[in-house]
Amino acid sequence: MSDRPQITDEELHAYIDGELSRVRAADITALAQYDRELARKIAAFRADKARLVELYGPVGERPVPAAWLHTIERAQRRSTIWPSRQTIYAIAASLALMVVSMATYKIIKPSDEDPTVAQALAARHESLVMTDAAGTVSTMEAANHVVQDILGPTIKTPDLSKLGYTLAAAHAMPERKAVTIDYRDGQNHVFTVYLSHSPGTERFDMLKRGATRICVWQDEELSAVMVGEMSAGEMLRLATLAYAGLTAA
């Protein structure tokens, strides 16, 4: 079982299409340098995209079906302004591309559309890869400083030793105003707590992506996404201890 969760396919497609923020795109570029599997996936998605363009790219240059032209021309007869023939072709080509795009999107649409979860999984991936990077701390006291610098003085680094997990590393992610805290148990299983400011909505969700269990627990101020390869029962116990520990007296 791998300890490293994948960056979601949705995020990778956005990365390839240039739709990610500059910061996030830079993160993925950097990660791909460390992670051969991620680099291979990016290359595979780029190849898929190239094949799609190859298959459907000439659609815009093909003759517009006569029935479409007839419909458009009939509509234009009622109009006082007559667009040029090129404009009609462009509209028809756009329609054709729209149909192709919708069909393609349906094929490649990723299943995970949850930005909170995607962000937490990406952050976990990043934190596991960059264990020795600058800004990484591994004592409870230092982790508390990291957490409180980013999230405020009342939030604490949870102590999970009661369930056999000890702090492995905490990373500040100031550009996202988030913190990732990794814990490991005696068998080197990793449990990650990704903390950020809440979007303002309450939420509790337990999700599963392959062997990875994800628990999203947030109130109107704090969002905690907890990730690990474990059963639902184990996640319930760990998530409860972690969530309670964030605000423990």
Partner 1 sequence: MSRFYVLLIAILLGSMPVAQAGVTPAEAEALKGALTPVGAERAGNAAGTIPPWTGGYTTMPPGYRPGDPRPDPFGGEKPILTITAANYTAYADNLPEGAKALFKAFPDYRMNVYPTHRTAAAPAEVYENVFRNATRAHAVADGLSYGVEGAAGGIPFPIPQSGLEVVWNHLLAFWGAAREAHLSTYVVSAAGNVDLGASYREVADFPYYAPGVTPESVGAYYFKTRHIEDAPPSKYGEAYLAWQPLNIARTKFAAWRYVPGERRVRRGPSLSYDTPDPEASGFETLDEYYIFFGGPDRYDFKLLGKKEMYIPYNNNGLYQRPVKEILSRNHANPDDLRYELHRVWVVEGTLAPGKHHIAPKRRLYVDEDSWFAVYSDAWDEDGRLWKFGHATMYLVPDLPAIVLGSQFVYDLILGGYVYGFAFNGDPIQYKVTPPHPESAYTPETLATEAIR
Which residues are at the interface with partner 1 (CB under 8 A)?
154, 202-208, 217-221, 231-234, 236-241, 243-244, 247-249
**CA angle centred on 215, ends 211 and 220, rounded to 5°:** 160
Q: Give the 3-state DSSP-derived string for 19-87, with helices as H, strands as E and coil as C.
A: CCCHHHHHHHHHHHHHCHHHHHHHHHHHHHHHHHHHHHHHHHHCCCCHHHHHHHHHHHHCCCCCCCHHH
What is the side-by-side strand order in the sheet with 136-137? 136-137, 166-173, 178-184, 190-197, 222-228, 212-218, 203-209
Tokens of 80: 């006082």
Q: How far is the CB of 92 from partner 1 (least distance, A)?
A: 35
54/202 with CB nearer partner 1: 202
53/232 with CB nearer partner 1: 232
Q: How far is the CB of 163 from partner 1 (least distance, A)?
A: 9
Tell me, rounded to whole angstroms, the distance of Cα 168 from its chain centroid: 23
50/232 with CB nearer partner 1: 232
Q: How far is the CB of 237 from partner 1 (least distance, A)?
A: 4
The answer to whether the beta carbons of residues 113 and 10 sit under 8 Å apart is yes
Q: How far is the CB of 220 from partner 1 (least distance, A)?
A: 6
Q: How far is the CB of 207 from partner 1 (least distance, A)?
A: 8
Q: How far is the CB of 197 from partner 1 (least distance, A)?
A: 14
- Cα–Cα distance, 189 to 8 (Å, whole number): 21
127/212 with CB nearer partner 1: 212
62/208 with CB nearer partner 1: 208
75/248 with CB nearer partner 1: 248
The answer to whether the beta carbons of residues 169 and 137 sit under 8 Å apart is yes
**CA angle centred on 132, ends 128 and 136, rounded to 5°:** 85
Q: How far is the CB of 206 from partner 1 (least distance, A)?
A: 5
Tokens of 90: 């462009």
82/204 with CB nearer partner 1: 204
